[in-house]
């Protein structure tokens, strides 16, 4: 790209919005997945408003320049990997939020962190539930673009369940408003839903209207240790067939030990699996739910079951669970999966992953949003050892084959990005892939929005 073309972009944006210093732009090349195929952008644009984003897209359409939208880069699939010769469009400066307590909605710009949306809602006695483990570091726009899940989603649903409307800038630079602060609205096709989870490939979200609900009641917590992953998986099915817990998380021995190495919660290092469950139903209903959880764990041979009403204690266990990914990353390079299966298949998934780990002679630490049937096998290896790297990739592919054989999904909440793209046709089939391509071509005929993500 010539300097003249870049000058034209600078001319239509506020001073300082276009950053070309390679020492700075290098920090925008990759997300947490550290995609080795990430390119080098010609510039990063730090937009401040919808009009800035429109100006970027008009310029990009005119000159056919690829644009990669980026929140805070906590993605785990290479979804915001930069493209050679392209622009990274960062929303980090788009941080306004307002709350309407009568309509029970928040209107947020995309660069606000998830935790900041929760805080703004809490100031009005309201709650924004979706809580990815990255809650303190991920943007609400990134959450919408990936349809992020999290820990309380087993009871309260995922990001899409809280998006009532949005403003989106399309590839040609036009801006549209979809939905709004209406609790019921079925006018036209469900276009808002189409953009949720579209990973920056169909448009750039510049504003979100989010549904808020009354605050979560105080939760009681159960922590149970098991001698085998099978018995923990059986306990999970027994729980979910009877109640809807507010949290139901699984950690295997490798993830328990990774956490203990870093935060020292006093978890049983010898346990083969641990369940962390919560009920936030008030009064007698909550007591019954906790009894059901404890009973299921005991029926399936838990070696230790601990329960507490103390909110701080419960939060400490939740924080330990949230720390599994960074704790595991301290052990070596990590290939991170995000697979999901129908609940009935959860035991086969968890035991299957254990078998793949043994067969491939590679450490796989598995942590799961178990109540949603969504597991994160974290394949840990020494990337300086070619043999270990090879075995890690074989294990990754075998886990993908396993979930497809179990009628599952290759991604439950992180998205496809670039790192899982080649597996997408195996899950969707040729006809659904073609439908995806037709929608992409209709909205982004020049193919300039996040090229290479999701669809090949």
Ligand X SMILES: Cc1cc2nc3c(=O)[nH]c(=O)nc-3n(C[C@H](O)[C@H](O)[C@H](O)COP(=O)(O)OP(=O)(O)OC[C@H]3O[C@@H](n4cnc5c(N)ncnc54)[C@H](O)[C@@H]3O)c2cc1C
The residues of the shown chain that bind ligand X, judged by CB under 6 A, are: 31-32, 68-76, 79-80, 91, 110, 132-134, 138-139, 141-143, 145-146, 148-150, 199-200, 204-205, 325-326, 413-414, 450, 453
Q: Are 371 and 240 in contact (CB under 8 A)?
A: yes
To the nearest whole angstrom, how small is the minimum distance from the Cβ of residue 203 to ligand X?
A: 7
- Please give the Cα distance from 177 to 194 (Å, whole number): 13
The residues near 45 (Cβ < 8 Å, ≥ 6 apart) are 9, 13, 17, 18, 19, 52, 56, 87, 88, 89, 90
Q: In the bound complex, what is the minimum distance in angstroms from residue 53's beta carbon to ligand X? A: 8
- Minimum Å gap between C-beta 86 and ligand X is 12
Whether the Cβ atoms of residue 150 and residue 83 lie closer than 8 Å to each other = no
- The CB-of-196 to ligand X minimum distance in angstroms stands at 10
- In the complex, minimum distance from the CB of residue 75 to ligand X, in angstroms, rounded to a whole number: 3
- Looking at the Cβ atoms of 132 and 373, the one nearer to ligand X is 132
DSSP state of 107: E
Nearer to ligand X, 50 or 279 (CB): 50
Nearer to ligand X, 307 or 338 (CB): 338
Could you write out the DSSP letters of every residue in 415-451?
--TTTSGGGHHHHH-HHHHHHHHHHHHHH-TT--BST
Backbone angles phi, psi at 128, to 5 degrees: -105, 105
Q: Which is nearer to ligand X, 31 or 116 (CB)?
A: 31
Nearer to ligand X, 138 or 276 (CB): 138
Q: Residue 199 or 307: which CB sits closer to ligand X?
A: 199
Give SS3 for 83: coil
Number of H helices, E strands in the chain: 16, 17
Tell me the closest approach of the beta carbon of residue 396 to ligand X, in angstroms.
18
**Rg of the chain over CA atoms, in angstroms?**
22
User: Which is closer to ligand X, CB of 197 or CB of 286?
Assistant: 197
Q: How far is the CB of 287 from ligand X (least distance, A)?
A: 28
Closest approach, Cβ 141 to ligand X, in A, equals 3
Residue 358's CB is within 10 A of a number of other CB atoms, namely 9
Q: Which is nearer to ligand X, 206 or 225 (CB)?
A: 206
DSSP-assigned beta bridge partners for residue 335: 379
Least separation in angstroms between CB 411 and ligand X: 9
Structure tokens at 426: 């195996």
Residue closer to ligand X (CB basis): 133 or 279: 133
- The span from the CA of 140 to the CA of 114, in Å, is 5
Cα(first)–Cα(last) distance of the chain, in Å? 24
292: three-class secondary structure by DSSP = helix
Check if the beta carbon of residue 373 is closer than 8 Å to that of residue 153. no
């Amino acid at each position: 790209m010539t300097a003249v073309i870049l000058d034209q972009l600078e001319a239509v944006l506020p001073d300082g919005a276009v950053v070309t210093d390679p020492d700075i732009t290098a920090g925008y090349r990759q997300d947490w997945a550290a995609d080795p195929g990430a390119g080098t952008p010609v510039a990063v644009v730090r937009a401040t408003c919808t009009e800035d984003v429109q100006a970027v897209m008009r310029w990009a359409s005119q000159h056919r320049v690829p644009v990669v939208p980026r929140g805070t880069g906590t993605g785990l699939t290479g979804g915001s990997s930069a493209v050679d010769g392209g622009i990274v469009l960062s929303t980090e400066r788009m941080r306004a939020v307002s709350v309407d307590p009568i309509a029970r909605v928040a209107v947020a710009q995309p660069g606000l962190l998830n935790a900041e949306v929760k805080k703004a809602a809490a100031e009005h006695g309201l709650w924004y539930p979706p809580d990815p483990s990255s809650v303190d570091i991920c943007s609400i726009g990134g959450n919408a673009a990936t349809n992020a899940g999290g820990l309380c989603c087993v009871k309260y649903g995922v990001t899409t369940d809280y998006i009532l409307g949005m403003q989106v800038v399309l590839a040609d630079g036009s801006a549209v408003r979809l939905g709004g602060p209406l609790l019921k609205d079925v006018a036209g096709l469900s276009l808002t839903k189409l953009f949720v989870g579209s990973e920056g490939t169909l448009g750039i979200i510049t504003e979100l209207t989010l549904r808020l609900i009354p605050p979560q009641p105080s939760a009681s917590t159960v922590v149970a240790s098991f001698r085998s992953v099978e018995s923990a998986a059986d306990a999970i099915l027994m729980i979910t067939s009877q109640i809807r817990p507010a949290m139901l998380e699984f950690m295997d021995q490798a993830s328990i030990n990774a956490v203990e190495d870093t935060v020292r919660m006093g978890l049983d290092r010898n346990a083969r699996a641990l369940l962390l469950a919560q009920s936030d139903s008030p009064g007698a209903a909550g007591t019954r739910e906790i009894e059901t959880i404890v009973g299921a764990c005991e029926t399936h041979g838990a070696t230790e079951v601990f329960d507490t009403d103390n909110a701080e204690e419960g939060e400490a266990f939740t924080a330990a669970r949230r720390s599994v990914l960074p704790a595991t990353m301290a052990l070596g390079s990590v290939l991170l999966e995000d697979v999901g299966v129908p609940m009935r298949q959860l035991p086969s998934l968890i035991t299957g992953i254990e078998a793949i780990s043994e067969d491939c002679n590679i450490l796989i630490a598995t942590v799961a949003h178990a109540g949603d049937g969504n597991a994160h096998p974290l394949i840990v290896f020494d990337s300086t050892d070619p043999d270990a790297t090879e075995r890690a990739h074989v294990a990754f592919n075998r886990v993908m084959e396993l979930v497809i054989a179990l009628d599952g999904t290759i991604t439950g909440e992180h998205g496809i990005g670039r790192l899982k793209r080649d597996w997408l046709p195996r899950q969707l089939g040729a006809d659904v892939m073609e439908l995806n391509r037709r929608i992409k071509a209709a909205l982004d005929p020049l193919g300039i929005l996040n090229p290479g993500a999701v669809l090949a």
